[in-house]
Amino acid sequence: MRDREKARERAHELVSRMTLEEKASQLRFDAPAIPRLNVPAYNWWNEGLHGVARAGVATSFPQAVGMAASFDADLLKEVGRVIADEGRAKYNAASRKGDRDIYKGLTFWSPNVNIFRDPRWGRGQETYGEDPYLTAEMGKEFVKGLQGDGDYLTAAACAKHYAVHSGPEALRHEFDAEVSDKDLYETYLYAFEKLVKEAGVEAVMGAYNRTNGEPCCGSRTLIREILRGKWNFQGHFVSDCWAIRDFHTRHMVTATAEESAALALKNGCDVNCGSTYLMILKAYQDGLVTEEEITTAAERLFTTRFLLGLFDETEYDRIGYDRIECREHLETADRATAESVVLLKNNGILPLKREEIRAIGVIGPNADSRSALIGNYHGTSSRYITVLEGIQDEAGDGIRVYYSEGCHLYRNRVEGLGHPNDRISEAVSVAENSDVVVLCVGLDENLEGEEGDTGNNYASGDKKDLLLPESQRELIHAVLQAGKPTVVLNMTGSAMDLRYEQEHADAVMQVWYPGARGGRVVARLLFGELSPSGKLPVTFYNSVDDLPAFEDYSMKGRTYRYFEGTPLYPFGYGLTYGDVQVESVSCGGKTFAAGNGAAWNPASGDGAAQAAGDAVLADPAEGTTLTVRLVNRSAVATEEVIQVYIRDTESAFAPANGKLCAFLRVFVNGGGTVEAELHLDRDAFTIVDESGARRQDGTRFLVSVGLGQPDPRTKELTGKENVVFALRHEAD
C-alpha cells in the first residue's frame, strides 16, 4: 500500500525550502513552477466524470447517471481504471513536451456523489442517482479504480460537491441549503463519508452554496469538524471554481477578498479553483492568516503530488499513447452502455424481429445527434455513432431505414424561414412507410446541465418541469397517431414525464446519454443481440405536482425512501427480454419462497412472515448473508440485478418505504438457475436519529429480495412478487 507518511515527510521537507511567496503561489489551481527547487508547474483542474474530459481524444462512457443504472459496482471500478490509464497516457505525452495546461494533470475532480433529490436539477446527470447507498457503493469502486492499488496513486479522485448540493443552479452562488441533522447524515453526507473512510479518496471539493448558514468552501462544521475531525480525512480540499469569491460578492458573509481567502484557508480549503487566493499574501500582511496555515495547505498539496509519483520514476511512466481509445477500453465503454439502458415498457415488440421488418423509420431530434450521446463534462471521441447510424449498420442491406429529424430539439421549427412544425409531415410520412418506428426524443447538455450553459433556459441549467419541449411533444403525438408499432427512446440525464409514451407507445427505453459510440449498442439492444438490464437509479414521477419546492432540502416527500405518492416508474425498476424470478432466499437458518404472502407494509399485516417464523439475526454489527436463488423461465439469456431492501419495523426514525441495502448484477442463462450471495452490512440495521447519530434502534426488520422494490407500482409493472421475510435480533 502507498506510504502517505513518507509522502508527507517529503512534502514537509520540500515546502520548508520555499519562501512564503512560493508557498502561497502553490495554493492556486494553476500552480506555477519553482525552477530553483525543480518544481514544475502543475494545474490541479482536470475532469473525468465519464471519461477523460476536455483534453482531446479519450474513451467516452455513458454519463454517470446512466452508469448508475447498471447497478454494477465492479463496472464502475473498471471505468475508473480506464480513465486513470488514459489520464496517465495523456499526462505522460503532454508533460514530456512541457505542456502543463489545464485538464492535463492527474487530479480528476470526479466523482460527483451529490444526491439527485429533485429531477429538475440540471447537474443530476453527473450523479449516481437518488439513493445514498447506491451512490456510495458506485462511488467507492470508481475511486478505487481511478486511484489504483499500486505503490503510487495512478490518479487522484475527488468527491464533490461537499455538501448538501443539488440545485437550484440559478441560486447556487447565494443559496443557503437548510437541512436537519437527520437528513444531513442519513442522506447528504453518507456517500462522502464512505468514500473517505472506505475508498481513501484523495480530494474533496466544496460546493458553491452555504449549508445551514456556512459557505461550504469555508465551513468550519463541514471541513474542520466533520471531514477532518470525525472522519480523519488526510487528503486535500479544493474549492469549486470561483466559489470563494462568492463569500463576499454573493453570500455576503465576508466583506473583502482577503477575508474570503482567510475564511477558506483557516477552515481547511487547500487549493482555490478561482482567483481569490491571489490575495493570500495580503491576508497574511493584514494578520488574517498565519504562515503556518499557508504552509499546512502547501504540504497537503505536495503530499498528493508525491503520492502520484510526480517527482519520481514510476511504473506509470511507461503507459503509452496507444492506451487511449484502445480496443479494450472501447469494449468496456460498450459494456457500460449495454448495462445502463433501462427498458421501461415492452408489449412484445422488442426485440425487433428482422424477418417481419421491411422498413424501419428512425425519427426524432436525438436520432442523429452527437450532443445527445455525450452529456456534460465530456471528452472528445475519434468516432461518434448516433442511434440512427447504429440502426443503419445493424439493419444491414435487408431492411430499409428511413429517417426524419421530426422537429428541432426545443424550437418550434427546424428551418428559420419555415412554418412551425416544419418537419412533422415528413416524420409522419416516414412512419406511414415503415413497419416499425424508433422515435428518439429527449434533451442534451444545452437543456439540462450546469448554470451558465448558453443553451438552457435562463442560463440556469435546470428544468422548470418534467415535460419534454413542446416541439417534441407535438412530434410524439403526431407519430404515435400514425398507428405504426413504435419504440420511444428517451435520451435524457434525468426523470421525465413519460405518461403519454407509457400509455400509447409499444415500448419505452430510457437511454440516458449513452456515450460517443452508444448508438451501436442501443441498436444491438433493439434487435435483441443483447438484453436490456439497467435499473432506474432515480424515481420517475408523474409531474412536478408530485414534488416539494425545489429549494426545500428536507427529504420529506422525496425519493423512493420518503415519497408518499405513486410514481410513474419506481427507483430500481427495469425490464429485460428474459423472465427471471427470485425463487427463494435463505438466511439465518431458514429458507423463504417467492409468493409466501408476506407483506412489506405492516399496516396490511405480515401474518405470513410471522407464520413462517423470523430468521435469526445473530449480531447486527456483523450483518448477515443471504443466499438467493434465481430462475429464468424464458429461453432468453439476460443479466439481472438482485435488489435487497430493508425496513426497521420498530423505529420511528426508519425511512417509511425502506431502503436499499444490497444489490448484485448476475447473468442467468435461458432456462437456467443461479445462486448468489449478498451480504447485508451493519448499516442496513441502523437508523439515523434527529441528532444525526447512526445507531441500532430496532430488533425486527422486514427484508425484501427481488428485481425491484417491494412497492405496488413495481409489482404492477413487472407482475412479479418479491421474497419478503422478517429478521429478528434477540438482544442479550
Q: Give yes or no: 240 in active site.
A: yes
Given 72, 118, 240, 334, which residue is catalytic?
A: 240
The sign of the CA dihedral 182, 187, 188, 190 is positive
Q: Which grid coordinates belong to 558?
A: 422525496
Q: Which grid coordinates belong to 274?
A: 478561482
Q: Distance of CA 203 to CAs 134, 250, 311, 609, Å?
A: 21, 26, 19, 46
Phi, psi of 592 (to 5 degrees): -120, 135
* DSSP line for 30-92: EEPPBGGGTB--EE--B--BTBS-SSSB---PPPHHHHHTTT-HHHHHHHHHHHHHHHHHHHH
Closest CA to 594 of 514, 497, 704, 491: 704
| Gap between the Cα atoms of 161 and 205, Å rounded | 5
Please count the other Cβ atoms lying within 10 Å of the Cβ belonging to residue 613.
14
Alpha helices in 483-580 (DSSP H): 499-504, 518-526, 559-562
Place of cell 487549493: 271
Query: 243 near 275, Cβ under 8 Å?
Result: no
Please count the other Cβ atoms lying within 10 Å of the Cβ belonging to residue 731.
6
Closest CA to 563 of 546, 583, 577, 551: 546
CA angle, 666 then 670 then 671, to 5°: 105
Helices (H) and strands (E) in the chain, counts: 21, 25
Q: Distance of CA 561 to CAs 34, 186, 613, Å?
A: 52, 11, 27
Closest CA to 503 of 613, 347, 640, 321: 347
Alpha helices in 131-266 (DSSP H): 132-147, 181-183, 190-199, 246-249, 257-266
The sign of the CA dihedral 516, 517, 520, 524 is negative
The sign of the CA dihedral 455, 458, 461, 465 is negative
| Strands 236-238, 203-206: pairing kind | parallel
| Strands 723-728, 615-616: pairing kind | parallel
Alpha helices in 535-588 (DSSP H): 559-562
User: Cβ-count burial of 149 within 10 angstroms (0-12 exposed, 13-18 middle, 19+ buried)?
Assistant: exposed
Catalytic residues: 240
